[in-house]
Amino acid sequence: MDDAAKVANFEKRIAEGDKIEPKNWMPERYRKQLIRMMSQHAHSEVIGMQPEGNWITRAPSLKRKMALLAKVQDEGGHGHYLYSATETLGIDRTEMIEQLHEGRAKYSSIFNYPTLSWADIGVIGWLVDGAAIVNQTMLAKTSYGPYSRAMIRICREESFHKKQGYEIVTTLARGSEAQKAMAQDAVNRWWWPSLMMFGPHDADSPNSAELLGWKVKIQSNDELRQRFVNITIPQVRAIGLTVPDPDLRFDEESGDWKFGEIDWEEFWRVVKGNGPCNRQRMEHHRRVHAEGEWVRAAAEAYAAKKAANAS
């Protein structure tokens, strides 16, 4: 088929809700958009291990340490699922990491904030993973098969992440005055950055129209952000905490919790590399990647020897 017929057939399949698989023909632009979005998602999962990993040795009990260890290990696994899913599009993991190190690929702004207290670990599990669940539950329906299947598996683990986070914050909110104040301080610092995870407003999103047209995204940034706020505000109120938004109000007609304007100046400052921890996150990632070179070399040598023995 010539390209026009291939595009028409591809778009017919998307419209009919088919999953596009690696061996199927796809427009180069579709492939490039998926590589951008999926590799950045993978980078986010791996870099997201840093702020939480910072508290593994300082968890307040063995039980808390075990749950946090399990969560951080899960995030590393999510990164591998997503790098593997992205490699089905013809890009090598080495190249993706190079793009990250050279500033040609992004990762989620949320991981550029510091974890200042144990309450931050609970709020990350509750709000950050809670926001990720809203986004990833949608992405489980994405038109690209490998991404959709990775999301289904990841979402199962995310729900444990959110539950353990909310349980930590609930324990603190119902504890001493000092514990409740620590929990409220963490919510105050992480609330707006969690809303920023969903990206710019739809009208300011250069990628959304194309991604929605190809059913890579099924819902828009603003729709998902609103869904997250509607789910989360009742959870905040249930444990006697508040969010730092004087404009928050319940709109009877729509059933939505209307919220104030996000500080987009802060959002773009962090996305462009000038957030509180951007430099630290990238230095750590570069250093640990270099330290892990021997592991990659050993794995490649083993694979080459095995292949040589097999031939």
Of 106 and 284, the one with the shorter C-beta distance to ligand 3HC is 106
Question: 């104040």: which residue's tokens?
Answer: 181
Of 211 and 233, the one with the shorter C-beta distance to ligand 3HC is 211
Contact 223, 250 (CB under 8 A): no
The reply on whether position 135 binds ligand 3HC by CB under 6 A is yes
Write down the least CB distance from residue 87 to ligand 3HC, Å: 17
The reply on whether position 89 binds ligand 3HC by CB under 6 A is no
Report the length, in residues, of the chain.
311
Tokens of 79: 């990164």
Write down the least CB distance from residue 18 to ligand 3HC, Å: 21
Residues 72 and 45: their CA atoms lie apart, in Å, by 9
**Interface positions, 212-251, toward ligand 3HC (CB under 6 A):** 221
Write down the least CB distance from residue 104 to ligand 3HC, Å: 9
Amino acid identity at 194: S
Of 40 and 170, the one with the shorter C-beta distance to ligand 3HC is 40
Of 86 and 180, the one with the shorter C-beta distance to ligand 3HC is 86
Of 218 and 239, the one with the shorter C-beta distance to ligand 3HC is 218
Q: Which of 200, 226, 236, 245 binds ligand 3HC (CB under 6 A)?
A: 200
The C-alpha angle with vertex 34 and arms to 143 and 204, in degrees rounded to 5, equals 100
DSSP designation for 55: T
Amino acid identity at 217: K
Which stretch in 1-9, 16-24, 103-111, 282-290 sits in contact with ligand 3HC by CB under 6 A?
Answer: 103-111
Give phi and psi for 144, each to the nearest 5.
-90, 115
Which stretch in 95-103, 181-189, 202-210, 283-291 sits in contact with ligand 3HC by CB under 6 A?
Answer: 202-210
The reply on whether position 120 binds ligand 3HC by CB under 6 A is no
The reply on whether position 52 binds ligand 3HC by CB under 6 A is no
Strand-pair partners of 249: 258
DSSP designation for 217: S
Nearest by Cα to 76 from 106, 42, 101: 42
Amino acid identity at 1: M
The reply on whether position 64 binds ligand 3HC by CB under 6 A is no
Strand-pair partners of 256: 251
Find the Cα–Cα–Cα–Cα dihedral 141, 147, 149, 152, rounded to 10°. -60
The reply on whether position 50 binds ligand 3HC by CB under 6 A is no
Of 80 and 179, the one with the shorter C-beta distance to ligand 3HC is 80
Question: 């290990």: which residue's tokens?
Answer: 73
H helical segments located in 174-263: 177-196, 208-213, 221-238
The reply on whether position 48 binds ligand 3HC by CB under 6 A is yes
Contact 64, 136 (CB under 8 A): no
Residues 58 and 21: their CA atoms lie apart, in Å, by 44
Of 138 and 248, the one with the shorter C-beta distance to ligand 3HC is 138
The reply on whether position 119 binds ligand 3HC by CB under 6 A is no
Of 64 and 78, the one with the shorter C-beta distance to ligand 3HC is 78
Amino acid identity at 24: N
Write down the least CB distance from residue 163 to ligand 3HC, Å: 14
User: Can you give the binding site for ligand 3HC, defined by CB under 6 A?
Assistant: 36-37, 40-41, 44-45, 48, 75, 78, 106, 108-109, 128-129, 132, 135, 158, 196-200, 205-208, 211, 221, 271
